[in-house]
Amino acid sequence: MKLELKINGSASRIEILAPAPACRFRLGEAAERSASVEIPAPGVYSILMGGRSYDACVEKTQDGLVVVAIDGYRFEVEVRDPRRWNRKSGGGGAEGLQTVVAPMPGKVVRVLIAPGDAVEAGQGLMVVEAMKMQNEIKAQRAGRVLTVAAKEGATVAAGELLATIE
């Protein structure tokens, strides 16, 4: 599972290769790492990594952030799972740039737009096939297509940029 993180405002990525208790993960482009993780109480994690022991206290705030406290240090973490598509994250605002991303991993079977095309809200932009089902990706609002990053026949990952609309 790949997650996008903002830790105290700094962007990062983590790929979880195996979950707890024998956790394996990769931060950014770094080499794979491993840790032994135990959960003695809700929101408390006991971590053994690289020969050192850490106790992490984790809590969610009302505004959706995760606050992690380790050895007296406090980290505010915003976690985004690109697999969890949210209509708000598609750039559905009234102004600015709309980024259209793949809501799930799949294959682009049809591209229905080209740079410079005018599109209306709800208009189909492309079709992505996932698990033998075709899903039409639609514009959240009216605008003009700036870029089309996806090509027919290409495989895309969840959260990957497909197009931008102004």
For the cut 80, the answer to whether the pLDDT of residue 42 exceeds it is yes
For the stretch 64-118, pLDDT in tens is 788 999 988 999 998 887 766 554 444 444 456 788 888 888 999 999 999 999 9
Q: Are 100 and 165 in contact (CB under 8 A)?
A: yes
Could you give the 3-state DSSP secondary structure of residue 15? strand
Could you give the 3-state DSSP secondary structure of residue 58? strand
For the cut 80, the answer to whether the pLDDT of residue 135 exceeds it is yes
Q: Does domain 87-165 have CATH number 1.10.630.10?
A: no
Mean pLDDT lowest among 13-27, 46-60, 77-91? 77-91
Sorted by where each begins, the domain ranges of the chain are 2-80, 87-165
Q: Give the percent of the chain with pLDDT over 70.
A: 92
Closest CA relative to residue 65, chosen from 2, 3, 6: 6
Q: Which CATH class is domain 2-80?
A: alpha beta
Q: Token pair for residue 45?
A: 């994690």
| Those residues with Cβ within 8 angstroms of residue 11's Cβ, 6 or more apart along the chain or in another chain | 4, 5
For the entire predicted model, the pTM comes to 0.49
The whole-angstrom separation of Cα 124 and Cα 104 is 16
